[in-house]
Structure 1
Amino acid sequence: MDLHYSLEQLLAFQYVAEHLSFKKAANQLFLTPTALSHRIKKLEQQLNVQLFERHTRAISLTPEGNYLLKHVQSGFEQIQTALNQLQHHKQRLFTITTTSSFASEWIIPYLPELQSRFPNMMFRVHTSYDPVNMASGLYDLAIRYGLGGYQDVNVELLAEDEYVAVGHPSLNSETIDWSSIPLIHFTWGDEYCPNRISWQKWFDRQNLHIHASQQQVFYTQENHAIQAVLSGQGVALLSRITITKDLQQQRIKIVSPYIEKALGYYFLTLPTADPVVNEIKQWCRDKFLQSYVVNIQI
């Protein structure tokens, strides 16, 4: 007998044998008594063994039926145990989407701790400046940089950002010649940030001018601009949230008291988010607030 073609019949047999009633077994299996009876007859034909004694108003197991029931029950119990264990140990994929700089500074360094806290979770970090569609089901938690007017999601402010002028620690901020200091630009497109902060705006608001002969370099990746500052190539306008750790470790320093207010970082979650999403969101908030120092002195 090929077991592959008999699992339905074996399950039907177990239910009938345990209840000694075709009607009760049929109800639990969502079958008609006739369909259930056909399955039992097919099993008996495959085995060439009679499993039930059929009486006028009752049925009973034959010795062969009793023997088979013990093994069928044991077999299905083992299968159910295996399924339960697989379900219990199954790892859930949890995707956090955020900007590249936020992921580098505030998510990735703490991932081992997050994985230790949620051992049955696989984490995926997705980076993008694009608007995120939470309804797509691709993301569990989004952290986006913007104005906060997001639709059809729960929105929570994490922190408001500001841009500061920074340079190498060896740079004397009191003697900077703003007409000749090399300018390091970080550009990432007006399509993402309509009020994008730039050196031109920074100079204009202080009645300063960028000179035609002034050395300038443009980067599309924020970490590249940071590396240029670290290597002493000039001054850059950078997000305080992004460079908090570099400031704390005195790898770079603020070289002007003039600050440009920027946008904010926001948590985005679906209204139907489960407790795990909210717990991880709170963990992200706690980790950020533990390390982020707003008032760093020049």
Structure 2
Amino acid sequence: MKMLQMTFHYSLEQLLAFQYVAEHLSFKKAADQLFLTPTALSHRIKKLEQQLNLQLFERRTRSISLTPEGEYLLKHVQAGFDQIHTALMQLEQNRQRLFTITATPTFASEWIIPHLPELQQRFPDVMFRVHSSYDVVNMASGMYDLAIRYGSGDYQGVNIEFLAGDEYVVVGCPEMDLSELAWQTVPLIHFTWGDEYCPNRVNWQKWFEKQGMHIQAGQPQVFYTQESHAIQAVLSGQGVALLSRISVAHYLKNQKMKIVSTHREQAMNYYLLTLPDADFIVNEVKNWTRTVFEKSYDSTV
């Protein structure tokens, strides 16, 4: 225990100073490489010698040399610092890169998460994080590698790539009989992002007005702030919803819901956002995202 406690008196700075002086056999050269004054460097060496109660250098007028004790210590100090350097290099090489994809909530759940195992297999040394939000993204913060956002495309300080245009369609469960659909009594499922996220709001009020109709007093209605909740309400047969075609594409393709009106509302677009200096992995993940979407999305369904 005493030996362990004694070793704490010898700092890495002292041992590193000793190694540099011993390898160069020059206080001046060692001080220059360590960005120290010769006086400060000499003080570290003297303190180490005092703590060891040993002389590590033979000091002459114009030169220095190692004592036998100094040669012994140098061999072990070099080996120790080599091991530390090797350990640090291995930690750096084995460190997984954290890659954050931020997308609107429904796009994340419908288009990113189901395909994430494929992405992880393609980049085994990358740890992926999926962040969902409707908020305007600040790519300059360094928190995100790839952003997928819905809007008008007027984003600043980033590379912008158009991914897809969207539209809102009226959907219901597959069993719904369109010949008996009564717009005056059918339960309406509402979902709205709010003006701060979707300036050209698409909602039932506007949809009815364009059809020359209006929502009836007492007509069953339920409001959701999460699009995924509105989707689940449609899937469970609770009514009809006005939803993003991109958000419900898989359900339409798999015939788990169907479009129940020919009238559609034009919406905004989805964009891929990256920083101008994006590296190879960022661009590969971005291209993968585009490929997955384009392979799966069928706007004719």
The TM-score with structure 2 as length reference comes to 0.90
Aligned residues: 296
**Counterpart in the other structure of 1:131:** 136
**Counterpart in the other structure of 1:242:** 247
| Amino acid corresponding to residue 215 of structure 1 in structure 2 | P
- Separation in 1, partners of 2:257, 2:229: 14
**Counterpart in the other structure of 1:261:** 266
- Separation in 1, partners of 2:258, 2:228: 16
**Counterpart in the other structure of 1:51:** 56
- Separation in 1, partners of 2:35, 2:293: 53
Percent identity of equivalent pairs: 72
- Separation in 2, partners of 1:6, 1:125: 43
| Amino acid corresponding to residue 183 of structure 2 in structure 1 | W
The match for 1:176 among 175, 181, 186 is 181
The TM-score with structure 1 as length reference comes to 0.91
The match for 2:292 among 284, 287, 292 is 287
What is the CA RMSD across the aligned residues, in angstroms?
1.9
Change (3 A) 1:179 1:6: closer
Change (3 A) 1:4 1:152: farther
Change (3 A) 1:4 1:90: farther
Instruction: Choose 206-215 or 183-192, whichever is displaced more.
Output: 206-215
SS state of the match for residue 204, structure 1?
A: helix
Establish whether residue 99 from structure 1 lines up as the match of residue 104 from structure 2: yes
Which structure 2 residues correspond to residues 218-229 of structure 1 after superposition, within 5 A? 218-229=223-234
Equivalent pair of 2:9/2:51 in contact (CA under 8 Å): no
- Separation in 2, partners of 1:8, 1:131: 47
| Amino acid corresponding to residue 232 of structure 1 in structure 2 | G
Alpha-carbon distance, 1:251 to partner: 0.5
Alpha-carbon distance, 1:52 to partner: 1.6
Structure 1: runs of 5+ lacking an equivalent: none
**Counterpart in the other structure of 2:92:** 87
Alpha-carbon distance, 1:58 to partner: 2.3
- Separation in 2, partners of 1:187, 1:232: 20
The match for 2:116 among 108, 111, 115 is 111
Establish whether residue 35 from structure 1 lines up as the match of residue 40 from structure 2: yes
**Counterpart in the other structure of 1:21:** 26
Alpha-carbon distance, 1:207 to partner: 2.5
Alpha-carbon distance, 1:186 to partner: 1.2
**Counterpart in the other structure of 2:159:** 154
Instruction: Choose 108-117 or 61-70, whichever is displaced more.
Output: 108-117
**Counterpart in the other structure of 1:251:** 256
